[in-house]
Structure 1
Amino acid sequence: MKRKASAVWNGSGKEGQGALSTQSTVLNNTQYSFKTRFEDGVGTNPEELVAAAHAGCFTMQLTFNIDGAGFTATDIHTDCDITFENGAITQSHLTVHAQVDGISQEKFDELVAHAEKNCPISKLLNTEISVTATLN
């Protein structure tokens, strides 16, 4: 399986602007610029997209882990905070809240730890990854 996305940039780094598109067209000439990355502009930026990808990938991996352990999650909500410092992503912190009937905290923590290390985006990132998980 392969997935595709593209970026187009026009102009200088600080004054120019770009557009991002994905194969699925969920992003279709979505605006990004210096202002959306480093200031308060309207549009997206690479770090925000990495955060969305990591939150989505981790949540899906955790869901499969919970299913595989014989439980069903009623709800899983994951936030991802990406830290961008000195030109590098230095940390990805996941905060997950889940409702899973009948699961013990110990089993839940085991499944979270597995998802943290084994979702494909975690494997891709060469940075510190941490998780705060709450079982409701």
Structure 2
Amino acid sequence: MDRNATAVWKGNLKDGTGTLDTQSGALKGLAYSFKSRFEDASGQSGTNPEELIAAAHAGCFAMQLSHFLAENGTPADKLDAKAVVTLVPGTGITGSAITLVGTVPGIDDAKFRELAEKAKAECPVSRALGAIKVSLDARLA
């Protein structure tokens, strides 16, 4: 199974602008720029590659954990996963920190954390991010 996205960039690094499109159409003409990547911490000037990696990581992790919880006989009512991807200019992406709050009836804290750690290790995006530190802070609601 292949998925694709297209980036079009015009101009130089600092003054140029780009757009992103995804195969599904979920992103179509989504703007990104040097400012949105390195200068605007508010995120209001457009997206950036790190934000998209964070979204992919949070989504993949939550899906993987939902599978493990269902296999355990304790399906989740809700998994609220947030990934924060850290970019150090001049160094690169150094980590992805997942914070999770789960609403999972019938599970104890130890088993929940065990399955969350397993999902962190086994979700395909975590595996793809193997060159960086991936951390997890998981708790039940």
Short-chain TM bin: over 0.9
Structure 1 residues without counterparts, runs of 5 or longer: none
Partners of 2:56 and 2:85 lie apart in 1 by 11
Q: Does 1:130 align with 2:130?
A: no
- Matched to 1:129, the amino acid is V
Output one character per residue of 1:81-114: Cα deviation in whole Å (capped at 9) or x when no partner: 1110134110100000001111011111110010
Where does structure 1 differ by over 3 angstroms across 4 or more consecutive aligned residues? none
Question: In the alignment, what sits opposite 1:24?
Answer: 24
Question: In the alignment, what sits opposite 1:36?
Answer: 36
Q: Which aligned pairs between 1:100-119 and structure 2 lie closer than 5 A?
A: 100-119=104-123
Partners of 2:58 and 2:38 lie apart in 1 by 22
Q: Which aligned pairs between 1:1-136 and structure 2 lie closer than 5 A?
A: 1-40=1-40, 42-85=45-88, 86-125=90-129, 126-136=131-141
TM-score (norm 1): 0.97
- Matched to 2:99, the amino acid is T
- Matched to 1:15, the amino acid is D
Structure 2 residues without counterparts, runs of 5 or longer: none
The percentage of counterpart residues that share the same residue type is 46
Partners of 1:29 and 1:103 lie apart in 2 by 43
- RMSD after superposition: 0.9
- Matched to 1:103, the amino acid is I
Partners of 1:72 and 1:92 lie apart in 2 by 25
Q: Mean alpha-carbon deviation: is it higher for 81-90 or for 14-23? A: 81-90
Q: 1:73 is paired with a residue of what secondary structure? A: coil
